[in-house]
Amino acid sequence: MSTTATPTQQPAADARGTGLGRLSWPLALTGSILMIAGSLMSWSYNPRVLGDLTLYFNPGALQIQMILVGLLGLVFTLSVRGPLRKLGRFLDAGRALQRLGLGAAAFMALVLVAITLEAGGLINADPGAWVVLLGAVLAAVGGHFSTHRPDRDITGVRLPAWAEILLIVAGVGAFLFLAADALSLRDPWQFVLLLGTVGILCAALAGARFFDWLGIVASRHSRVLMLAAFVAAFAFPLTQQGSDANMSIATQVIIFAATAIGLNIVVGLAGLLDLGYIAFLGSGAYVGAILSGSAFSTIGWTPPFFVTVLIAGVFTAILGLIIGSPTLRVSGDYLAIVTLAFGEIFRYAMFNLDGNNGPNLTNGPNGIPAIPDLNFFGFDFGKSHDLFGFTITRFSNYYILLLIVLAFIILVFVRLNDSRIGRGWVAIREDEKAADAMGVNTFALKLFAFAGGAFLAGIAGSIKAHQDVSVTPDQYQFLESAFLLSAVVLGGMGTVGGVLIGAVILKLLPEKLRFFSEYRLLLFGLLLVLMMRFRPEGLVASKRRKLEFHEEDEQLAADIQKVHLREQQ
């Protein structure tokens, strides 16, 4: 392992260096050990709660998750004082331990709430749960009062190329395993607690600045990361054992992600707030349905599907030009209101194109049902197929097709972002008047962003029509536009990875949290509030947006400058 980092000044001991400050390491060590030991004990008297947590030295799934949390806490503790002290020179172990302890304490509080509700009272909680809770509190206190600070910049650490590539592949494989495991869970409490575990681990690693280093590693091996991600994505259907329910959710996630990347051009790059973007997805879906050969189609022409996809994309792009020409002359709040109105106008237009209030194109509120499955060269997407002993179901067929389309959309986005057009969009987003003064054709570029984003959404919509079997106006309401915009903001505007993560979170969570019924939107709102408070730049933010939201963070600016210089070298 090599590093180009320069030593940083170790801060002087403050009030934390006395009293509890001297006890911080023993407290953190004791807390980590208690979290592991308590996870080997019984958590609940009732074996039907949370997957049977009643056995000693035979941990269930949730207990194994907490053992992993405890082991990570042990690693951070021993990096402060112990055999892993060299690692502690690069990691902010104190902050990581504090986050890990607080997260573990919240996790155990949720476990106790679940036991209380599912088993009929808190009396059903066994000693192991209380031991883990005590350990989490001790770890948080130890981390809070820790005086340890790293004296080296972790972003300068450079491992051998093969080790970094192996780390990327292992991370992608872990994400594949996690996604498959999350979809297989039927108990909503177990699903929520699994997400809680992932959140604890990510928060602790982020506190240690591990993800700052991982982002640099990923940028050095971006092609390996993209290849590994798509290999894992194509392998995902093989992990579902022919489950159509899980693959249905997965296809919806891919459609949502592809559409969100198109919106990312408009919002993330050009900075145009579009609240009616779902209309472009609906336009593509209606074009695909009308030209599908359905018995309810009002046009008796069924071109090859590849021609249909092209027609859908071009039609939505033209629609984007028609809508964008007058509306893009306004900006800010006015643009948001106009696009919101466009989304509602589209939906009501689909209601009225029923032969009574207008030409008969969409069958009005009944929509176009019975859309036939795709058939490419004898390959029927509506039937199951066997591949190397694995069953590839109907939704798996569409999932693989959508992955190919998603790869195309990502390629278009990346190429545009790295081009002169992309730089023009960024200039418009930063300061439209300054960009116009520098000779940038702002109106043409904004119009192209609108049309380009609409084109990508139309392509995704044409496939969605066949996957959903029917198209109705009620599928394309304002709430869907709000979710798409939230995916872009939550994941990180202007980035591909961030939008993909945001799409997965916002499409997967509502499906798996049906147990909470009407409270799902409340939880979603709380998540957004917390994100805007603690990480407004998004989960995967570009360097520029990090500085925009953290201008006062001089250390962040210095780190980004170092990374930029290393990339130039």
* Domain co-membership, 291 together with 204: no
The answer to whether residue 13 scores a pLDDT higher than 50 is no
Q: Which of 175, 201, 231 is the last residue of a domain?
A: 231
Residue 4 lies in a domain: no
Phi, psi of 388 (to 5 degrees): 55, 40
Mean pLDDT lowest among 374-388, 444-458, 459-473, 519-533: 519-533
**DSSP state letter for 441:** -
pLDDT at residue 553 tops 80: no
Do 315 and 373 fall within a single domain? yes
189 lies in the same domain as 259: no
- Say what the pLDDT of residue 11 is: 41
pLDDT tens, position by position, 358-410:
788 888 888 999 999 998 888 889 888 887 777 888 899 999 999 999 999 99
Q: Is 12 a residue whose pLDDT tops 70? A: no
Predicted pLDDT at 548? 62
- Asked, for residue 2, whether it belongs to a domain, the answer is no
Residues written for the chain? 569
Would the pLDDT of 28 be above 90?
yes
What percent of the chain lies above the pLDDT cut of 90?
44
Q: Is the pLDDT of residue 156 over 60?
A: yes
Structure tokens at 172: 């992608």
Q: Residue 14 has what pLDDT? A: 43
Most confident of 66-70, 443-447, 564-568: 66-70
| Same-domain status, 515 and 399 | yes
Q: How confident is the model at residue 560 (pLDDT cuts 50, 70, 90)?
A: low
Q: Do 217 and 297 share a domain, yes or no? A: no
What pLDDT was estimated at residue 9? 40
Are 564 and 511 within one domain? no
The neighbour count for residue 378, using CB atoms within 10 Å, is 5
CATH value at residue 500: 1.10.3470
**Among 124-128, 342-346, 501-505, 537-541, the least confident range:** 537-541
Same domain membership, residue 51 and residue 67:
yes
Please report the pLDDT score of residue 260 as a whole number.
93
Chain centroid to CA 65: 21
CA distance 349 to 368: 15
**Residues above pLDDT 70, as percent of the chain:** 90
**Domain count along the chain:** 3
Return the structure tokens found at 531.
């994100």
Report, as an integer, the average pLDDT of 316-335. 85
Asked if residue 253 has pLDDT above 70, the reply is yes
Q: Are residues 513 and 431 in the same domain?
A: yes
What is the CB neighbour count within 10 angstroms for residue 430? 12
Q: Judge if 394 and 502 occupy the same domain.
A: yes
**Domain interval for residue 568:** 543-569
Q: State which of 194, 210, 231 marks the end of a domain.
A: 231
Q: Which residue has the higher pLDDT, 6 or 388?
A: 388
Query: What pLDDT, on the 0 to 100 scale, is given for residue 20?
Result: 64
Query: What does the pLDDT read at residue 8?
Result: 44
Give pLDDT, residue 273.
87
Q: Which long-range contacts (CB under 8 A, 24 or more apart) does 224-232 make?
A: 224/165, 224/168, 224/169, 225/168, 225/172, 228/168, 228/169, 228/172, 229/172, 230/403, 230/407, 231/172, 232/172, 232/173, 232/175, 232/176
User: Which stretch of DSSP H or E encloses residue 226?
Assistant: helix 222-235
65 within domain boundaries:
yes
pLDDT per residue over 507-524, tens digit each? Answer: 887 777 776 666 767 777
The pLDDT of residue 543 is 65
Same-domain check for residues 200 and 342: no
The answer to the question of residue 190 being in a domain is: yes
Whether residue 284 lies inside any domain: the answer is: yes
**Residue 434 or 513, more confident:** 434
DSSP states of 295-325 as a string? TT-SS-----HHHHHHHHHHHHHHHHHHHHH
Which pLDDT belongs to residue 143?
Answer: 93
143: closest CA among 74, 193, 89?
Answer: 74
DSSP letters, 43-96, are -BS-TTSSS----SSS--HHHHHHHHHHHHHHHHHHHHSSTTHHHHTTS-HHHH
Domain annotation covers residue 1 = no
Considering the domain architecture, whether residues 84 and 149 belong to the same structural domain is answered as: yes
| pLDDT in the model for residue 544 | 64
pLDDT of residue 93: 93
Other beta carbons less than 10 A from residue 369's beta carbon: 15
Residues 278, 214 share a domain: no
Last residue of one domain, picked from the residues 185, 212, 231: 231
Q: Within a domain: residue 310?
A: yes
Q: What does the mean pLDDT of the chain come to? A: 86
Q: Which residue has the higher pLDDT, 363 or 552?
A: 363
Query: Is residue 236 assigned to a domain?
Result: no
Mean pLDDT, range 254-268, rounded to an integer:
92
